[in-house]
């Protein structure tokens, strides 16, 4: 009943209000050798634009680092002769001032939209005749595989581990075999871990298959190191298994387990993890909610390592958050599991 | 009297303000078929769960097979067998696979498992069905198999929670023959049931009403005591004043 009432409300609010495929709050930094009037003018317009956040001036050699760390998603570079060429234009001489746009294209949708917006905004000024040189960093061909592979990985492990585990444990409860197992000398914890092992093995196989397919078939770079991606994914698998365990303890029937998995885990993870819609676009409240969605951190970290080529060390924060979540889920479910026996 | 297998003193279980089992005391002797009767919600299942080491008593003490129910629940589990009203073998495994699985869970060696599996199949006339999926067996057969498997590790006590629910009279009769056989072999049977004719088969019967033990004796003496024709009448006399419902 609650579910039936709640789902439409959540969907309407999320889709209609929170989730937009347009870009919002894109962090932009500017490189300019001289802060001339033209440059200041352009910066002002970006700073006052709702779609962009101006994050300050940076040096030429900081560009790569700023983008790689994810602090900014786009950098505007005004060439050193930009002002001179602009002056030539105003004097009626033929000249082409050059503005370089360097965009983080790990997320294809955002990159495409923000490039278009930026060009519009910058062209609005006197720099009408300016020429744009756009560089799509990390994903020069704007391949969408780069965008969806991390998302799909986030989805699959929740599906395989959390959903399958919970359903298989709850089925035993429903059929009555769990009761017999509980009366047997087997420790309850042992029973549950034994039930998880097949799904863990399957997940590992799936992980290997996905990584092979992404690398050889889709050409995803994996430049951050396969072992880093692998260990992060293993952690995520463990996290999903603990989630599944938690669901199986709460749910009494298989249907309930499926519903909980679908509504409480799948939906938020598809909508709020940044898999389909960029998180930066969310209103504050949804952004806050999204921080408790494990997939958000996983997808983010995988994107960084697979596409942007960040080393494992660069995602330590995401790793720590996922680790913390696993510990919490696992201990909560183990405590609840023992209570249930009472 | 012979050796005591289950002994319970002042057993009480509270859930918040609700007293599910109130100050219950009784003894069960070796080889006895101990009937545990009560209407739904009378506290039968709660009491049984405490005896099986699945739940701790709020107060009172008890021993099963010589082990303390508050402190040695895990040890008790190794010395008892359990069969519930819901059919509880794996439908998707064959007869042999189910036997092997539960023998493994109770720590029987490979050799013992093979030996007991053959014995069990022969006794039930199941030898031809050893590779049949359990799900494909008729309910009566399943229940017999479930009972045999509950006793596979030769436990001291077998707990049967309404074992004959939904089974036809002929199979019920056969099922009780199996119970008799096991009890003659020295296994103590602790059985809850709704069928009053089955209560007549028990060595002794206890009747719970509203969480309290209202009567405990042999069926014959209970009938004398309540001046009744059958156990059905005895039960109805006692359960009439029950306050609690389902």
Give residue A172's pLDDT: 85
Between A204 and A123, the more confident residue is A204
Distances in Å between the Cα of A158 and the Cα atoms of A187, A195, A199, A236 are: 26, 16, 11, 9
Contact residues, chain B, for A187 at CB < 8 Å: 74
Helices (H), chain B: 44-51, 73-79, 95-105, 110-123, 139-150, 169-184, 196-201, 219-225, 231-239
pTM to 2 decimals?
0.71
Q: How many CB atoms lie within 10 A of CB A39?
A: 22
Between B35 and A141, the more confident residue is B35
Interface test with B, best of A179, A189, A195, A337 (most B CBs within 10 A): A179
Q: Quick one: residue A18, left, alpha or beta (phi over 0 = left, psi -120 to 50 = alpha)?
A: alpha
> What band does A16 get if pLDDT is binned at 50, 70 and 90?
low
**Lowest-pLDDT choice from A114-128, B24-38, B64-78:** A114-128
* pLDDT beyond 70 at A321: yes
Q: What mean pLDDT is predicted for residues A153-182?
A: 83
Model pLDDT for residues A253-286, shown as the tens digit of each residue:
888 888 888 777 777 777 777 777 777 767 777 7
Between A218 and A208, the more confident residue is A208
Q: What is the enclosing helix (H) or strand (E) of A118? A: helix A108-123
Contacts of B205 (CB under 8 A, 6+ apart): B34, B35, B37, B199, B215, B216, B217, B218, B219, B222, B231
Q: What is the dihedral of CA B218, B219, B223, B226, to 10 degrees?
A: 60
Between A124 and A106, the more confident residue is A106
Q: How many CB atoms lie within 10 A of CB A197?
A: 10
* pLDDT beyond 70 at B71: yes
* pLDDT beyond 50 at B38: yes
Among A221-235, A266-280, B14-28, the range of highest mean pLDDT: B14-28
> What band does A11 get if pLDDT is binned at 50, 70 and 90?
low
**Lowest-pLDDT choice from A213-217, A336-340, B4-8, B110-114:** A336-340
Query: For a pLDDT cut of 90, what percent of chain A falls above it?
Result: 4
Q: What mean pLDDT is predicted for residues B124-151?
A: 88
Cβ pair B82:A186 closer than 8 A: no
* pLDDT beyond 80 at B241: no
Q: Which of A83, A23, A86, A76 is CA-nearest to residue A46?
A: A76
Give residue A269's pLDDT: 77
Kindly report the nearest CA distance between residue A185 and chain B, in angstroms.
Answer: 5
Cβ pair A184:B106 closer than 8 A: yes
Kindly report the nearest CA distance between residue B181 and chain A, in angstroms.
Answer: 23
Give residue B62's pLDDT: 92
> What band does B158 get if pLDDT is binned at 50, 70 and 90?
very high
Between B188 and A307, the more confident residue is B188
* pLDDT beyond 90 at A331: no
Concatenated DSSP letters of A48-64: T-TTEEEEEE--GGGHH
A131 touches chain B (CB under 8 A): no
Return d(Cα B68, Cα B44) in angstroms, integer: 20
* pLDDT beyond 60 at A339: no
Q: What mean pLDDT is predicted for residues A140-146?
A: 68
Kindly report the nearest CA distance between residue A191 and chain B, in angstroms.
Answer: 10
Q: What is the DSSP letter of A185?
A: S
* pLDDT beyond 60 at B72: yes
Could you tell me how many residues make up chain B? Answer: 246
Give residue B246's pLDDT: 46
Model pLDDT for residues A304-318, shown as the tens digit of each residue:
888 777 788 888 888
Which of A184, A187, A342 lies nearest to residue B55, judging by beta carbons? A342
pLDDT mean across residues, chain A: 80
Chain B residue closest to A181 (CA)? B105
Q: What is the DSSP letter of A68?
A: H
Return d(Cα B167, Cα B161) in angstroms, integer: 14
Q: How many CB atoms lie within 10 A of CB B229?
A: 9
Contacts of B238 (CB under 8 A, 6+ apart): B207, B209, B214, B215, B226
* pLDDT beyond 80 at A57: yes
A61 touches chain B (CB under 8 A): no
- Between CA B152 and CA A249, with CA A177 as vertex, the angle to 5 degrees is 140
* pLDDT beyond 70 at A18: no
Interface test with A, best of B52, B58, B82, B153 (most A CBs within 10 A): B82
Chain A residue closest to B150 (CA)? A180
Q: Which of A242, A206, A245, A211 is CA-nearest to residue A228?
A: A211
Chain B residue closest to A339 (CA)? B55
Which of B55, B80, B90 lies nearest to residue A177, judging by beta carbons? B90
pLDDT mean across residues, chain B: 88
Contact residues, chain A, for B90 at CB < 8 Å: 177
Cβ pair A183:B80 closer than 8 A: yes
Q: What mean pLDDT is predicted for residues A15-30?
A: 69
* pLDDT beyond 50 at B218: yes
A190 touches chain B (CB under 8 A): no
A16 touches chain B (CB under 8 A): no
């Amino acid at each position: 009943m609650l579910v039936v009432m709640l789902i439409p409300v959540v969907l309407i609010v999320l889709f209609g209000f929170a989730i937009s495929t347009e870009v919002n709050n894109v962090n932009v930094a500017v490189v300019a050798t001289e802060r001339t009037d033209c440059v200041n003018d352009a910066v002002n317009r970006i700073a006052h634009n709702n779609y962009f956040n101006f994050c300050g001036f940076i040096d030429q050699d900081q560009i790569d680092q700023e983008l790689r760390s994810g602090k900014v998603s786009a950098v505007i570079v005004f060439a050193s002769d930009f002002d001179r060429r602009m002056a030539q234009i105003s004097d009626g001489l033929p000249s082409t001032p050059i503005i370089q746009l360097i965009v983080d294209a790990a997320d294809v949708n955002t990159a495409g939209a923000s490039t278009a917006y930026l060009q519009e905004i910058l062209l609005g000024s006197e720099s009408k005749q300016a020429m744009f040189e756009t560089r799509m960093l990390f994903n020069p061909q704007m391949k969408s595989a780069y965008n969806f592979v991390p998302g799909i990985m986030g989805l699959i492990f929740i599906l395989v581990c959390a959903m399958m585990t919970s359903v298989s444990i709850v089925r035993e409860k429903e059929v009555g075999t769990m009761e017999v197992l509980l009366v047997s000398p087997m420790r309850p914890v042992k029973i549950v871990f034994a039930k998880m092992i097949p799904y863990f093995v399957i997940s590992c196989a799936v992980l290997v298959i996905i990584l092979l397919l992404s690398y050889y078939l889709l050409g995803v770079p994996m430049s951050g190191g396969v072992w880093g991606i692998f260990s992060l994914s293993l952690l995520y698998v463990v996290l999903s298994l603990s989630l599944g365990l938690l669901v199986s303890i709460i749910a009494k029937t298989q249907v309930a387990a499926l519903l909980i998995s679908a509504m409480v885990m799948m939906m938020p993870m598809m909508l709020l993890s940044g898999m389909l819609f960029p998180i930066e676009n969310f209103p504050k409240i949804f952004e806050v909610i999204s921080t408790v969605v494990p997939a958000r951190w996983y997808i983010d970290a995988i994107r960084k390592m697979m596409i942007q080529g960040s080393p494992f060390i660069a995602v330590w924060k995401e790793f720590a958050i996922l680790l913390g979540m696993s510990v919490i889920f696992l201990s909560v479910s183990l405590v609840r599991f023992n209570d249930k026996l009472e | 009297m012979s050796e005591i297998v289950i002994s319970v003193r002042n057993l009480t279980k509270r859930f918040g303000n609700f007293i599910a089992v109130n100050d219950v005391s009784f003894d069960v002797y070796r080889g006895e078929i101990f009937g545990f009767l009560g209407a739904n919600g009378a506290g039968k299942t709660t009491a049984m769960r405490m005896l099986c080491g699945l739940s701790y008593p709020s107060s009172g003490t008890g021993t099963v097979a010589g082990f303390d129910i508050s402190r040695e629940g895990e040890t008790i589990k190794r010395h008892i067998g359990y069969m519930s009203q819901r059919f509880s073998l794996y439908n998707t495994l064959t007869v042999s696979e189910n036997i092997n699985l539960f023998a493994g869970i109770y720590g029987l060696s490979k050799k013992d498992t093979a030996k007991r599996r053959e014995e069990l199949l022969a006794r039930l006339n199941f030898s031809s069905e050893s590779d049949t999926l359990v799900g494909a067996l008729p309910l009566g057969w399943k229940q017999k198999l479930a009972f045999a498997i509950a006793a596979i590790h030769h436990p001291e006590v077998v707990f049967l929670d309404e074992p004959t629910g939904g089974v036809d009279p002929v199979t019920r009769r056969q099922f009780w023959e199996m119970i008799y056989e096991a009890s003659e072999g020295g296994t103590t049977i602790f059985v809850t049931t709704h069928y009053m004719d089955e209560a007549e088969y028990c060595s002794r019967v206890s009747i719970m009403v509203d969480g309290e033990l209202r009567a405990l004796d042999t069926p014959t003496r209970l009938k004398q005591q309540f001046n009744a024709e059958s156990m059905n009448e005895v039960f109805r006399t006692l359960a009439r004043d029950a306050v609690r419902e389902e």
